[in-house]
Amino acid sequence: MKRLTFLSVLLLLLASFHNASSQDLKINDLEYFETQGVNILVYNNLFTGGFNDEKTAGIELIHHGVRTSQGGAVRLSNTPEQWDLVPAISNRKVDRASNTIEATLRYEDYDFDSRVVVTAKGKGVEISVYLDKPVPKALEGSAGFNLEFLPSQYWAKTYVMDGRINRFPRYVVGNTITRPNSEKLKQFKGYVTYDDRGTGKFIDPLPLETGRTFLLAPDEPERLVKITSHDADIMLFDGRMLAQNGWFVVRSLLPAGKTGKVLTWTIEPNAINGWLREPNIGFSQVGYLPSQQKVSVIELDKKDKPLAKASIYKIGDDGNAAEVFSGNIASWGDYYKYHYVKFDFSSVNTPGIYYIQYGDFKTNNFLIENNVYDKITDATSDIWIPIHMNHMFVNEAYRVWHGEPFKDGYLQAPPNTDHFDLHAQGPTTDTKYKALEKIPGLNIGGFFDAGDFDIETGSNISVVQNFVQTWEYFKPLRDQTFVDQKQRYVDLHRPDGIPDVLQFIEHGTLNLVAQAEIIGHMTQTLSNSVLDNYHHLGDAASLTDGLPYNPNLGPYEVAPDGRSSGVKDDLWAFTSRNPSLDLRAATMFAATSRALKGYNDDLSERALQQSKRLLIEATELLANQPQDRPDRRGGSANMATNLQLYIATGEKQYIDKFQELLWPALERNVNFGLLTALDAIPHMDASYKEKLRPYVVKYKEYIDGLEKDNPYGVPIGLGNWAGGGGVVSFGTTICFASKYFPDIIDASHAFKTTNWLFGCHPYHNYSLVATVGATRPKAVFYGNNRADFSFIPGNVAPGILFRQPDHFENYDDWPFLWGQNEGTIGGNTSYLIFGSAFKSLVK
């Protein structure tokens, strides 16, 4: 009886589902299917050959403003992982007359082509797969059509398969089987994947359900989708069984031995009649100074009619709120998918607690006070940065963030080795070490790159340079971290009498100097040798067994003396020489030699020695490269190196070379070289500053152009990595340009960066810095604790990721998309410079 009652309700819901949908799907001018509340993209975003399945490609569904589904394509496994093979899209055709988008998908490894044709059918689309040749024998039972759904939008909601009712699990559950690794590796990119303790098996999830008609979230109209298969079973898998970043996968296998139209699905996303996206009221979650300009940017559905006014309410000491300001709404215009208006409430300058009211929508509270920016970098410098110190035991009160990682050290990467993190060892080692020979002395200092545990040398070079500039410009004496290099121990919130930034400089330099001295040049990276280690989540000290690999021992065998093992888990040093990277290191070594003088004189002298040597060697190597190589002269690295060496030594040869390179660089792109040019001002005469003035004027024109480019007035990145780094660099440049040229660059432009970082941006109004912006900071990030849906305080997200052709997003309920949620050591130390410069500016 209960089942009949549910099915009756379900039928009524489905009837309303069809009646509620307002309009049929049609191909719009941006070449995707659209009706109000539903966008279906068909290979507007392509799979890449770099990190392969980034969960941002294929057939995608943007459902009532949220990208809830992606990855629609012919795939070779039930629940594809990040490094599984992805199809190349060799051809894409849009036919408006037939309301059809077609793409040709190819797997080169198997000489396997398929065509996917998506046709609008009323309120939904029909997806058909065509084959000109049958599925290759090797892929029979493996090739199928997949569509993936975002777990965070569906867990705890119901689903119905052929009338059978169930609920999407909050945490992964289900059954699996094991198969020989050889079967998996055929479909994988070829990396060693599972540390399976010698079983020779890999895990394959079994479907949660199988049927022909699948209904997702009938209890949630905003997420309701109906999928019908006409000629093959639909299977539902939970991709989180293999990887925490897996999605719910809906899949049908392609039949063996058939050609022509071999599979057809009908997909009908519910479109709520009259649905409008709620306004996104952008403002600074951190708050505002009483004296600064205060402008809220409000993001609206294009079908939403802007209101004439908005209001500011002040919360009194009695807890009651009173309206203290009402102002006009000014239209900015359309920007990609949405319409933007602005609300200027600069006249509100009395310190207090406030919120914005726009129609029926009320924001959380924010502060107006003179101290709102005082602590914007504290969480980054006190917590996030020391947690990312490699080769150290890091403790915080009762919590251990990680033990001492990689006691086993680093082995020489074998020649001609491709790496899953886009590195490669060339045909030789470029060192005196043989393949898989231990390189002694590298397991010291350095910083984890990001949400993983490798040392990206290029990033670490930038990091130390960032610390040095922070130290030399602002001399931050903040001391909240205990660092003991001898004991390899770090304790948070425990002063030790030494400024933290100085200890961070030392820690980064120790690893980089070791590379230069022991190897003779800079490595590309010190990274994982097997993929299972690379995607490790948890304590970095548990990533390896801490014992150097001994090829004379059997798998997982430990030597009688306990000093080596047969476990191939040691990290590798990728040592192919890159003279441009050596130049960047020379820049950093010159700078760090100054900062460490008087604190660690031995390391200071070693750094300066390596700077001079690497400059000479790298310059000679670059000069001998072919004329058409873009990095032949070292570009900005060479320019900055010579500036830093001049500051360190005072020798005229370096400053002459700096100026020889600087002015042509500024002519080519003033945005690219201006910050380096500004760094030189304190060390140059007055004529240099005057010669620089026209370029600052040109930069002012760039700033003004941004006001017309987008409603936020900042450089918004549109690539596969969100553009927060560019916004931070923009803010830093303004801070220094306004310091030296206040008559040209108004300091108020720097507030555009803080507004963006702390909540005034597209998609939502969360602060992009973990714990900064007390009321609504982002709650999840792509850090090494991402499996816990957590964050590391002070982490700075890359920000608002742009998806072609017109969609911005930043998930705060799903941390696993690194392009929008992964803080990096390079990005976070760039934020440290900006925050320090900005605090200095507002004082």
The burial class, CB within 10 Å (0-12 / 13-18 / 19+), for 12 is exposed
* 42 pLDDT higher than 70: yes
Q: How far apart are the first and last CA of the chain?
A: 72
19 domain residue, yes or no: yes
Residues 124/56, Cβ–Cβ less than 8 Å? no
State the DSSP code for 50: S
Residues in the chain: 843
Share of the chain above pLDDT 90, in %: 85
Last residue of a domain, which of 561, 587, 617? 617
Q: What is the mean pLDDT of residues 695-699?
A: 98
Looking at 351-485, which runs of residues are DSSP E strands? 352-358, 361-362, 366-368, 393-396, 399-402, 410-412, 417-418, 424-425, 438-439, 455-456, 481-484
Return the beta strands (E) in 372-464 as ranges.
393-396, 399-402, 410-412, 417-418, 424-425, 438-439, 455-456
What does 314-363 look like in DSSP terms, one character per residue?
A: EE-TTS-EEEEEEEEEEEEEEETTEEEEEEE-TT--SSEEEEEEETTEE-
Q: Give me the residues paired with residue 265 across strands.
A: 127, 229
DSSP assignments along 208-262, one per residue: SEEESEEEE-TT-GGG-EEEEESSS-EEEEEGGGT-TT--EEEEEEPPTT--EEE
How many angstroms separate the CA atoms of 585 and 614, rounded? 8
* Same domain, residue pair 62 and 86: yes
With contact defined as beta carbons under 8 Å apart, do 309 and 327 qualify?
A: yes
Band (pLDDT 50/70/90 cuts) for residue 2 is very low
Whether 703 is in a domain gets the answer no
Q: Give the C-alpha separation, 535 to 531, whole Å.
A: 6
> What mean pLDDT comes out for the span 423-452?
95
Which residue range forms the structural domain that includes residue 70? Answer: 2-269
pLDDT of residue 639: 85
Instruction: Establish whether 299 is a catalytic residue.
Output: no
Q: Are residues 256 and 334 in the same domain?
A: no
| Bigger pLDDT: 567 vs 533 | 567
Q: Output the pLDDT for position 18.
A: 45
Q: Which of 596, 617, 638 is the last residue of a domain?
A: 617
Q: Tell me what the mean pLDDT of segment 49-69 comes to.
A: 92
Is 626 within the bounds of a domain?
no
What pLDDT is attached to residue 22? 53
Structure-token pair, residue 212: 């022909």
Task: Read off the pLDDT of residues 496-514 as tens digits, 9 standing for 90 and up.
Answer: 999 999 999 999 999 999 9
The answer to whether residue 673 is domain-embedded is: no
pLDDT, residue 184, reads: 54
Give the Cα separation of 72 and 137 in Å (integer): 23
Rounded Cα distance, 759 and 355, in Å: 14
> Is residue 17 pLDDT above 70, yes or no?
no
Average pLDDT in the 23-40 region? Answer: 96
Residues 319 and 203 in one domain: no
Q: What is the pLDDT of residue 632?
A: 44
Would you state the pLDDT for residue 178?
Answer: 86
SS (H, E, C) 536-605: CCCCHHHCCCCCCECCCCCCCCECCCCCCECCCCCEEEECCCCHHHHHHHHHHHHHHHHHHCCCCHHHHH
**Residue 822 pLDDT greater than 80, yes or no:** yes
Helix, strand, coil in percent for the chain, rounding step 5 = 30, 25, 45
Residue 519 maps to a domain: yes
Residue 553's pLDDT band, with cuts at 50, 70 and 90, is very high
Element (H, E) at 121: strand 112-121
pLDDT of residue 5: 47
Which pLDDT belongs to residue 480?
98
Same domain, 98 and 203: yes
Three-class secondary structure of residue 293 per DSSP: coil
pLDDT in tens, 602-643: 999 999 999 999 999 998 998 888 766 555 444 556 788 889
Mean pLDDT of the chain: 92
Q: Which of 328, 351, 368 is the last residue of a domain?
A: 368
Please tell me the predicted confidence (pLDDT) of residue 649: 86
813 counts as catalytic: yes
Contacts 24+ apart (CB under 8 A), 232-237: 232/263, 234/161, 234/210, 234/265, 235/78, 235/207, 235/209, 235/210, 236/159, 236/161, 236/207, 236/208, 236/209, 236/210, 237/78, 237/79, 237/174, 237/205, 237/206, 237/207, 237/208
| In a shared domain, residues 358 and 240 | no
pLDDT tier at 14, thresholds 50, 70, 90: low
Average pLDDT over residues 224-248: 96
For the cut 80, the answer to whether the pLDDT of residue 464 exceeds it is yes
Query: Are 314 and 455 contained in the same domain?
Result: no
Please choose, from the candidates 366, 391, 337, the residue with its C-alpha nearest in 3D space to the C-alpha of residue 804: 337
pLDDT digits (tens, 9 = 90+) for 101-139: 999 999 999 999 999 999 999 999 999 999 999 999 999
Q: Please answer whether residues 205 and 238 qualify as being in contact, where contact means their C-beta atoms are separated by less than 8 angstroms.
A: yes
The CATH number assigned to the domain holding 257 equals: 2.70.98
Q: Are 423 and 574 in contact (CB under 8 A)?
A: yes
Q: Are residues 336 and 450 in the same domain?
A: no
For residues 341-361, average pLDDT:
98
- Among the listed ranges 6-15, 708-717, 823-832, which one has the minimum average pLDDT value? 6-15
Cα(622)–Cα(629) distance, integer angstroms: 9
DSSP classification of residue 420: T
Residues 326 and 237 in one domain: no
Helices (H), 650-669: 652-668
Closest to 16 (Cα-Cα) out of 224, 294, 266, 240? 224
Q: What is the CATH number of the domain that holds 288?
A: 2.60.40.10
Residue 287 and residue 256 share a domain: no
Q: Is 297 exposed, middle or buried (0-12, 13-18, 19+ CB in 10 A)?
A: buried
Bridge partners (DSSP) of residue 322 are: 314
What is the gyration radius of the CA atoms in the chain, in angstroms? Answer: 28
State the virtual CA torsion across 683, 685, 687, 693 in degrees, nearest 10. 30
The confidence score (pLDDT) of residue 629 equals 58
In a domain, 345, yes or no: yes
- Cβ neighbours around 91 below 10 Å, total: 13
Span 385-400, pLDDT tens digits: 999 999 999 999 999 9
On whether both 223 and 285 belong to a single domain, the answer is no
- Mean pLDDT is highest, among 20-24, 199-203, 554-558, for 554-558
Based on the fold, state whether residues 359 and 401 are members of the same structural domain.
no
Mean pLDDT of 331-353: 98
User: How many structural domains is the chain composed of?
Assistant: 4
**Cα angle 734, 735, 737; round to 5:** 60
If pLDDT is split at 50, 70 and 90, which confidence band does 159 have? very high
Summarize pLDDT for 517-550 with one digit per residue, the tens.
999 999 999 998 888 788 889 899 999 999 999 9
pLDDT of 190 reads 44
559 domain-assigned: yes
Q: Is 320 part of any domain?
A: yes
Strands (DSSP E) found in 10-111: 26-27, 33-35, 38-42, 59-63, 66-75, 88-95, 100-107
346 with 416, same domain: the answer is no
